[in-house]
């Protein structure tokens, strides 16, 4: 795309926004500080590097069989770097435990140690990428329907040990990178059919979490992710939204809001302010549910826009960790990252360009018509010219220009796998 055209369009947009009291330079500077936590699992359809030939379980599913999936740690790293080269700004990488560097050895989940992530720490330091972490309760012979809420002491103990070790690893990562490692805990525990023991499993989960969190750490932060239901576990989820909100609030933990984990008409955006009244931080998994928690690639839709606007309206950019969580195996996977990450950023930029001062003035004066009119007009302000400038200044392809880079990578790298 022509640089001169981008500059001209930006200058016009800058003026247009200035008329509304918005400084586009300020918005661009704020965007530079938005660091997405990119999930590693879009590279390989949530497979990981464990030597367990089981398939994806735990109520989640990838669909599609697009060629070029990453098959090992080097391919995952190469794909992530390729995706990051097409996304403006600096971003974090969120690892699941099953992506450890196990060197071809079988390391069961109650045996995992920081050393299995040393090469990731080194790689992160080399490329200036901060790491986040996730314990992995799915796709394991002991996963079943219940892990941390399992009445069987052996199985429950196994997962407690796993999660404790994951926290220790996150602590080690956070210490090494000089920035807290955000650890997300999501378990699929639930029941396919009606259970008459709802209380029992929740009590067990509480006890497991209490034990897991009995060690205090300073270089990692714990997040708890609820879910409405998983495939094959439709009737009951132990770790429901209510459960984790109560647990997190009482125990100073962070709640993770996954945009695919609520009833379809429920607004995830609306939850941000409620949580922030009681909790200093919130973690997000930005996804796109299509009819169910399908984890389609995030796009610039109303849900994502609303979510970003709420973060800005709550003045909470420094309090919200923006993780991504989608896995589409039916299209080019690097392209999926680029689309989803850039879409999230586009939404955030629009949020930062919102004429909030004027909107709030209208609201305080009870001028409902004016507020609605400006909200409508704001939708078609030239934010895209500011977005193009953001890409240009960050040295990444502007607009649809990134498509050909993804295609080239597919031709030169992915198609040879």
Candidate list 45, 97, 132, 225, residue with the active-site label: 225
Does the footprint of ligand RNT cover residue 41 (CB under 6 A)? yes
Does the footprint of ligand RNT cover residue 109 (CB under 6 A)? no
Q: Residue 82 binds which entry of ligand RNT, Zn ion, none, with Cβ cut-offs from 5 to 8 Å by kind? A: none
Does the footprint of ligand RNT cover residue 328 (CB under 6 A)? no
- In the chain, the N- to C-terminal Cα span, in Å, equals 31
Is 366 a known active-site residue?
Answer: no
For residue 265, the minimal CB distance to ligand RNT (Å) is 19
Candidate list 97, 132, 222, 293, residue with the active-site label: 293
Helix (H) or strand (E) holding 123: helix 118-127
Is 222 a known active-site residue?
Answer: no
β-strands 37-39, 292-296: how paired?
Answer: unpaired
Is 325 a known active-site residue?
Answer: yes
User: Of 258, 310, 328, 354, which one interacts with ligand RNT (CB under 6 A)?
Assistant: 258
CA triple 408-412-417, angle to 5 deg:
125
Is 315 a known active-site residue?
Answer: no
Residues 6+ apart with CB under 8 A from 339: 297, 298, 299
For residue 107, the minimal CB distance to Zn ion (Å) is 24
Is 242 a known active-site residue?
Answer: no
Nearer to ligand RNT, 4 or 263 (CB): 263
Is 159 a known active-site residue?
Answer: no
Does the footprint of ligand RNT cover residue 325 (CB under 6 A)? yes
Nearer to Zn ion, 132 or 325 (CB): 325
b (16+ CB within 10 A) / e for 170-203 = bbbbbbbbeebbbbbbbbbbbbeeeeeeeeebbe
Does the footprint of Zn ion cover residue 288 (CB under 5 A)? no
Q: Residue 133 binds which entry of Zn ion, ligand RNT, none, with Cβ cut-offs from 5 to 8 Å by kind? A: none
Q: Name residue 96's beta-bridge partners.
A: 134
Two tokens, residue 219: 């270089």
What CA–CA distances, in Å, run from 54 to 100, 135, 344?
Answer: 17, 17, 33
Can you tell me the distance from the alpha carbon of 13 to that of 22, in angstroms, rounded to the nearest whole number? Answer: 10
Q: Mark the segment that binds Zn ion (CB under 5 A) among 86-94, 203-211, 284-292, 387-395.
A: 284-292
Can you tell me the distance from the alpha carbon of 118 to that of 26, in angstroms, rounded to the nearest whole number? Answer: 38
Nearer to ligand RNT, 24 or 62 (CB): 62
Query: What are phi and psi for residue 340, nearest 5 degrees?
Result: -65, -40
Is 416 a known active-site residue?
Answer: no
Distance, C-alpha 388 to centroid of its chain: 24
Task: In the chain, count H helices and then E strands.
Answer: 14, 12
Are residues 159 and 185 in contact, defined by beta-carbon separation less than 8 angstroms? no
Nearest Cα neighbor of 118 from 77, 162, 173 is: 173
Does the footprint of ligand RNT cover residue 337 (CB under 6 A)? no
Site string for ligand RNT, 56-75 (x = CB under 6 A): ----x---------------
Does the footprint of ligand RNT cover residue 140 (CB under 6 A)? no
Q: What part of residues 230-269 is at the interface with Zn ion (CB under 5 A)? A: 258
b (16+ CB within 10 A) / e for 243-272 = bbbebbeeeebbbbbbbbbbeeeeebbebb
Q: What part of residues 181-200 is at the interface with ligand RNT (CB under 6 A)? A: 186
Q: What part of residues 274-293 is at the interface with ligand RNT (CB under 6 A)? A: 285, 293
Site string for Zn ion, 315-334 (x = CB under 5 A): ----------x---------
Does the footprint of ligand RNT cover residue 49 (CB under 6 A)? no
Count of residues that bind ligand RNT according to CB under 6 A: 11
Q: In the complex, which residues of this chain contact Zn ion (CB under 5 A)?
A: 258, 285, 325
Catalytic residues: 186, 225, 227, 258, 261, 285, 293, 295, 325
Q: In the complex, which residues of this chain contact ligand RNT (CB under 6 A)?
A: 41, 46, 60, 134, 186, 225, 227, 258, 285, 293, 325
């Amino acid at each position: 795309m022509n640089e001169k055209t981008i500059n001209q369009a930006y200058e016009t947009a800058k003026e247009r926004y200035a008329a509304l009291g918005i400084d586009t330079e300020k918005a661009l500077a704020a965007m530079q500080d938005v660091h997405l936590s990119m999930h590693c699992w879009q590279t390989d359809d949530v497979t990981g590097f464990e030597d367990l030939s089981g398939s994806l379980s735990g109520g989640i599913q990838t669909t599609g069989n697009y060629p070029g999936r990453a098959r090992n740690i080097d391919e995952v790293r190469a794909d992530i770097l390729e995706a990051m080269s097409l996304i403006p700004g600096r971003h974090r990488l969120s690892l699941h435990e099953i992506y450890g560097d196990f060197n071809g050895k079988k390391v069961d989940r109650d045996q995992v140690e920081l050393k299995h992530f040393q090469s990731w720490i080194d790689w992160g330091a080399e490329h200036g990428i901060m790491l986040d972490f996730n314990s992995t309760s799915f796709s394991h012979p002991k996963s079943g329907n219940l892990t941390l809420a399992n009445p069987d002491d052996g199985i429950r103990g196994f997962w407690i040990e796993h999660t404790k070790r994951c926290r220790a690893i996150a602590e080690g990562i956070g210490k090494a990178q000089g920035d807290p490692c955000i650890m997300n805990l999501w378990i699929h525990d639930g029941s396919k059919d009606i259970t008459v023991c709802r209380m029992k499993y929740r009590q067990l989960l509480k006890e497991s979490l209490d034990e897991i969190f009995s060690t205090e750490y300073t270089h990692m932060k714990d997040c708890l992710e609820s879910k409405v239901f998983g495939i094959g576990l439709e009737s009951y989820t132990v770790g429901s939204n209510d459960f984790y909100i109560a647990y997190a609030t009482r125990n100073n933990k962070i709640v993770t809001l996954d945009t695919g984990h609520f009833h379809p008409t429920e607004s995830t955006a609306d939850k941000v302010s409620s949580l922030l009244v009681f909790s200093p931080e919130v973690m997000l998994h930005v996804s796109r549910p299509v009819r169910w928690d399908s984890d389609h690639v995030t796009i610039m839709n109303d849900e994502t826009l609303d979510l970003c606007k709420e973060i800005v309206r709550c003045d909470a950019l420094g309090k919200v960790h923006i993780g991504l969580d989608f896995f589409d195996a039916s299209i080019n996977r690097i392209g999926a990252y680029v689309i989803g990450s850039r879409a999230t950023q586009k939404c955030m930029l629009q949020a930062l360009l919102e004429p909030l001062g004027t909107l709030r003035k209208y609201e305080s004066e009870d001028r409902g018509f004016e507020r609605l009119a400006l909200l409508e007009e704001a939708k078609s302000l030239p934010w895209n010219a500011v977005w193009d400038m953001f890409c240009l200044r960050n040295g990444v392809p502007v607009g649809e220009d990134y498509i050909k880079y993804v295609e080239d990578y597919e031709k030169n790298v992915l198609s040879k796998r």
